[in-house]
Structure 1
Amino acid sequence: MKVTIISIPVRDQEKAFQFYTEKLGFLKNKDIPLGNGNRWLTLVSKEDPNGPEILLEPAPLHFEPSKIYQDALMEAGIPYTQFDVKNVDEEYNRLQKLGVVFSLAPKEMGTVKVAVFNDTCGNNIQLIETLS
C-alpha cells in the first residue's frame, strides 16, 4: 500500500491552482472537468513528478462539514498538512518575497524547523525541515 493522492480542501480551485503553481512551484498533473465548474485538479512536486499527487478539492463549497472543519483548523492555527523542504529559512524568504503570508516564522522545534503560511484558500500549511 502507498499514498498516491493527498486531498487539500480549497474554496476556489483556480485561485488555489495559481497559488500552488506560481508561488509554491508545484506542477499541474491532471485537470479534468467534472461539471458545475468543478475539476479533478491534481499537482505534483517538481522534485518528485512521479510521486504523490495533491488534489485541490472543492469540498468546502459542496459539503458543509468540510467547510466547518477547515474553518476550525484555521481559527485554531493548525496546519491542514505539511510539505518537507530542504531549508525552511530559504523557502520562507523566497515565499515572503512572493507575498505569501506566514503566521509562524521559521522556528526550531527539537529535531525539526517549521514555518506556517496561509495558502489563501482556507488552509494553514506547514513547511518542515529535518535538522541533522
Structure 2
Amino acid sequence: MIRIITTSVFVDDQARALAFYTEMLGFEKKEDIPLGEFRWLTVVSPAARDGVELLLEPDEHPAVGPYKEALVADGIPAASFGVDDVVAEHARLTALGVTFVQPPTDLGPVTIATLDDT
C-alpha cells in the first residue's frame, strides 16, 4: 500500500513560513535539517505527529514564481487542510491576524474557507 509521507508548499522565506504555520495555524515543527542556504523544514499536525509532513519548500526554482502567481490569480489553493468546525477556526485564525480570501462558504456537503498563507 502506498502512503503520502511528505507534501510541500513553496515559500519565499522559510523562517517566516515556519512562524506562520506554527504560531498562527498551530502546526508543529517536525524536521529542521540545514541544507546549505536552505533547510529541509517540515511541519505536522499536533493531531497526527507521525502523519503527513508539510515541507516548507524554498521557491527558488524559476518555474515556481509563475506557478504561484497563476494559482493566486485563479483562486486555487496550493494545499487543503481539514478542521472540525470551519466557522470556529475562521474566527480563531482571524483573531490571530490571518487573512482570508474566502470566508466560510457552505457548499452543501462541505463548508470551505480560503486563507492567505502570506
* Same topology, TM > 0.5: yes
1:46: which partner in 2? Answer: 46
Instruction: Count residues with an aligned counterpart.
Output: 117
Q: Structure 1: which 5+ runs fail to align?
A: 121-132
Output aligned runs, 1:1-132, within 5 Å: 1-36=2-37, 38-58=38-58, 60=59, 62-120=60-118
- Counterparts of 1:8 and 1:111, CA distance in 2: 27
Structure 1 residue matching 2:66: 3-state secondary structure: helix
How far the C-alpha of 1:77 sits from its partner, in A, is 1.5
Percent identity over the alignment? 44
Q: Structure 2: which 5+ runs fail to align?
A: none
1:128: which partner in 2? Answer: none
Structure 1 residue matching 2:81: 3-state secondary structure: strand
Question: TM-score, normalization: structure 1?
Answer: 0.87
How far the C-alpha of 1:110 sits from its partner, in A, is 2.0
Question: TM-score, normalization: structure 2?
Answer: 0.97
Residue-by-residue CA offset, 1:71-121 (whole Å, 9 max, x unaligned): 11012211111001000001000000000000111011120000001001x
Structure 2 residue matching 1:80: 3-state secondary structure: coil
User: Which has more strand, going by share of residues?
Assistant: 1
Query: Which amino acid letter does the alignment assign opposite residue 15 of structure 1?
Result: R
- Counterparts of 1:47 and 1:86, CA distance in 2: 12
Query: Which amino acid letter does the alignment assign opposite residue 50 of structure 2?
Result: N
Query: Which amino acid letter does the alignment assign opposite residue 74 of structure 1?
Result: V
Compute the RMSD of aligned alpha carbons.
0.7
- Counterparts of 2:44 and 2:115, CA distance in 1: 19
How far the C-alpha of 1:66 sits from its partner, in A, is 1.3
- 4+ residue runs over 6 A deviation: none
How far the C-alpha of 1:57 sits from its partner, in A, is 0.2
